[in-house]
């Protein structure tokens, strides 16, 4: 299949190329003399750690930024892009993680906004709109899931991305860039997106694919380009580019096995959940031992985050109970759960965990007011000691304790969230997607930290959509579907295929049961 990309359409100019492009932001050199081309009919993966310059390059392709030096060539013609509209006119489209849609308009209206046909020159031709929308939905295999008149705001992130691609297709699409499209998608949603990407490739579109996930890159891309510190450090056909070498090129050094682990000493039961039921979680029971890492697998919408929020007292429990070290926990608010020794690092750290404009120090000490104050007055010394100690221990790379967390990289932000809970010395720690949007180097550090915390006797419940991560970290895996725990398996019996089939099988029976 890589034949199409590497040798097809020989002699034609690349669909889009950056030639000697540099871009600085103040003192930071985001791109340094980058020359990179995507050909028509190939999928080019762009990989690199956070801050390597991928997003900057994509924004230059999209006309958001203009290069300080160097030029863009579209189909062999030098172009200056002053705005995204210029890029769109040339058939260059970027699909972001969370595409812009008008939530209160219908799918059809969103798709054809600006291109409505009229009846008698005045009225909106709804029949025509529905027909054209149905056509597009059918092309993407969505005609059974979606109807043209559904409200766009009700779509899932994956469906929004597909909608954005459909919108791009309306006008001659030449280059499509997908910026970390799968970070909020489930496995099968991602697979559907890949099918679309492959089909576009076969139709002659140049596809640029940005991702942190090595397996996707290797599955999908014809060619891989690695960016590091604003330069293209390696660029090869995927076939001759083993994963280890890609990772090594990204970080600039070889990386040992990501999931180091030693035998764990399991203690007594630390977290015990019995018959927990909320609006979206049904009769869930399980235990986590002290020193144990339990993984929570499932498709998106299976109720994993909802279960975590219920245990943490954020979501109201309708029935059931939670106990820590055998003592029942009142579940009226997160404050109750925290008092009982539970910590929770939620899925979306920017909107749920961090005060982005506040300092590293303030963010760490947010959950330990009792440790940093006397009669409500903050002791600067105590606060610095606690926050500084955690910054050292977690190796949080920050200019100072006073730096706003917004300026930190994803991995360091996540470590700040972990630091907040470690300051409390929790008995139970719930981590929801702890490595989302985190680069490879920081991932390895977070994995090592999880192992350390388990060794210290903390009970960990880890939710992740990355199967290799769950399989690597967890001693035991619970599979959720439809708000229930449908299966539990020890580490030795778990495999990606098995988890996936369990997660999906139940999904099917649920929907067919609902249909009856």
Partner 1 sequence: MTDLKVESVADAVDRRLRRSGLGGLIERVGTHNFSLLIALAVLVAIFGFLRPDVFFLLRNILNIGQAIAMLGILATAQTIVIISGGLDISVGAVVGMSTVCIALAVGWTGSPLLAILFGVAVGAIAGIVNGLIITVGRINAVIATLGTMAVFRGVAFIISNGQSISIFDPAFRFIGDGRILGVPVTILTLVIVVAIFFVLMRYTVTGRNIYAIGGNPLVARLAGLNVRAYQIGIYTLSGATAGLAGMLLAARTGSGQPISGSEGLELEAITAAVLGGCALTGGKGTIIGGLLGVLIIGVLDNGLILTSVPTFFQMVAKGVLLIAAVIIAEQQARRYG
Per-residue contact track with partner 1, 454 to 473, x per CB under 8 A? --------------------
In the complex, least distance from residue 501 CB atom to partner 1, rounded to whole angstroms: 34
Residue 194 has phi, psi (to 5 degrees) of -65, -40
Angstrom distance (rounded) from CA 30 to CA 35: 14
Long-range contacts of 393-397 (CB under 8 A, 24+ apart): 393/419, 393/422, 394/418, 394/419, 394/422, 394/449, 395/445, 396/360
CA angle 60, 61, 65 (to 5 degrees): 20
Candidates 357, 513, 514, 515: give the one binding partner 1 (CB under 8 A): 357
66 contributes a contact to partner 1 by CB under 8 A: no
354 binds partner 1 (CB under 8 A): yes
Neighbouring CB atoms inside 10 A of 496's CB total 14
Which parts of 384-443 interact with partner 1 (CB under 8 A)? Answer: 406-409, 420
Q: Helix, strand, or coil here: 417? A: helix
The residues near 152 (Cβ < 8 Å, ≥ 6 apart) are: 101, 102, 103, 104, 105, 106, 107, 109, 110, 160, 163
| Backbone φ and ψ of 110, nearest 5° | -65, -40
Q: Does 351 bind partner 1 (CB under 8 A)?
A: yes
- Closest to partner 1 by CB, 272 vs 413, is 413
Nearest partner of 32 among 70, 60, 59, 63, judged by Cα? 70
- Cα separation, 263 vs 455, in Å, equals 9
Point out which span in 272-280, 292-300, 365-373, 491-499 binds partner 1 (CB under 8 A).
365-373
Residue 229 interacts with partner 1 (CB under 8 A): yes or no: no
Q: Does 333 bind partner 1 (CB under 8 A)?
A: yes
CB of 468 to partner 1, least distance (A): 27
Whichever of 132 and 314 has its CB closer to partner 1, that residue is: 314
The answer to whether 24 touches 72, Cβ cutoff 8 Å, is no
Binding to partner 1 in span 130-149, by CB under 8 A: none
| C-beta of residue 47 within 8 angstroms of C-beta of residue 217 | yes
In contact, 300 and 185? CB cutoff 8 Å? yes
Question: Is residue 31 within the footprint of partner 1 (CB under 8 A)?
Answer: no
If binding is defined by CB under 8 A, does position 300 make contact with partner 1? no
* Binding span for partner 1 by CB under 8 A among 95-103, 288-296, 328-336, 459-467: 328-336
**Contacts of partner 1 in 366-385 (CB under 8 A):** 366-367, 369, 372-373, 376-378
Given 67, 291, 303, 346, the residue binding partner 1 (CB under 8 A): 346
Which of residues 39 and 54 has its CB atom nearest to partner 1 in the complex? 54
Q: Distance (Å, rounded) from C-alpha 133 to C-alpha 65?
A: 33
Instruction: Please pick, from the candidates 4, 15, 30, 249, the single residue that binds partner 1 as defined by CB under 8 A.
Output: 30
Interface residues with partner 1 (CB under 8 A) are 25-28, 30, 50-51, 55-56, 312, 314, 333-335, 338-339, 344, 346, 351-358, 362, 366-367, 369, 372-373, 376-378, 406-409, 420
């Amino acid at each position: 299949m890589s034949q199409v990309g590497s040798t097809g359409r020989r002699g034609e100019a690349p669909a889009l190329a950056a030639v000697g492009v540099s871009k600085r932001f103040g003192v930071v050199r985001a791109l340094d003399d980058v020359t990179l081309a995507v050909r028509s009919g190939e999928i080019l993966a762009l990989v690199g750690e956070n801050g390597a310059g991928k997003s900057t390059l994509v924004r230059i392709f999209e006309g958001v930024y203009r290069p300080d030096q160097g030029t863009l060539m579209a189909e062999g013609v030098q172009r200056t892009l002053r705005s995204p509209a210029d890029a769109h006119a040339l058939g260059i489209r970027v699909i972001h993680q969370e595409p812009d849609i008008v939530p209160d308009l219908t799918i059809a209206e969103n798709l054809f906004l600006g291109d409505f046909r009229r009846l008698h020159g005045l009225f909106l031709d709804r029949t025509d709109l529905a027909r054209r929308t149905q056509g597009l939905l059918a092309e993407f295999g969505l005609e059974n899931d979606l109807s043209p008149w559904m409200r766009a705001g009700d779509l899932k992130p994956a469906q929004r991305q597909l909608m954005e691609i459909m919108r791009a297709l309306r006008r001659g699409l030449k280059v499509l860039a997908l910026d970390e499209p799968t970070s909020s998608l489930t496995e099968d949603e991602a697979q559907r997106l890949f099918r679309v990407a492959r089909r576009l490739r076969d139709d002659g579109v140049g596809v640029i694919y940005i991702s942190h996930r090595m397996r996707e890159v290797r599955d999908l891309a014809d060619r891989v380009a690695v960016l590091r510190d604003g330069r293209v450090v390696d660029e090869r056909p995927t076939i001759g580019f083993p994963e280890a070498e890609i990772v090594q090129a990204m970080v600039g050094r070889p990386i040992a096995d990501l999931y180091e682990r030693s035998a764990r000493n399991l203690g007594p039961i630390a977290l015990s959940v019995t018959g927990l039921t909320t609006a979206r979680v049904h009769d869930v029971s399980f235990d986590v031992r002290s020193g144990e890492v339990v993984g929570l697998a499932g498709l998106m919408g299976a109720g994993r985050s909802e279960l975590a929020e219920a245990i943490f007292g954020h979501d109201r429990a309708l029935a059931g109970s939670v106990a820590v070290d055998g003592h029942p926990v009142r579940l009226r608010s997160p404050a109750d759960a925290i008092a009982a020794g539970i910590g929770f690092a939620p899925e979306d750290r920017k909107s749920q965990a961090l005060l982005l404009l506040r300092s590293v120090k303030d963010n760490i000490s947010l959950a330990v007011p009792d440790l940093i104050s006397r009669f409500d007055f903050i002791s600067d010394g105590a606060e610095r000691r606690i926050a500084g100690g955690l910054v050292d221990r977690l190796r949080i790379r920050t200019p100072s304790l006073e730096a706003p967390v917004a300026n930190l990289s994803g991995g360091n932000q996540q470590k700040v969230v972990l630091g907040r809970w470690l300051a409390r010395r929790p008995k139970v720690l719930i981590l929801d997607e702890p490595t989302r949007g985190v680069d490879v180097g920081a991932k390895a550090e977070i994995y090592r930290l999880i192992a350390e915390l388990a060794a210290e006797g903390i009970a960990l419940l880890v939710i992740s959509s990355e199967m290799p991560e769950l399989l690597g970290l967890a001693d035991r895996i619970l599979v959720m579907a439809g708000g229930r725990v449908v299966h539990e398996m020890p580490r030795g019996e778990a495999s990606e295929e098995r988890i996936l089939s369990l997660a999906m099988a139940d999904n099917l029976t649920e929907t067919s049961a609902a249909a009856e």
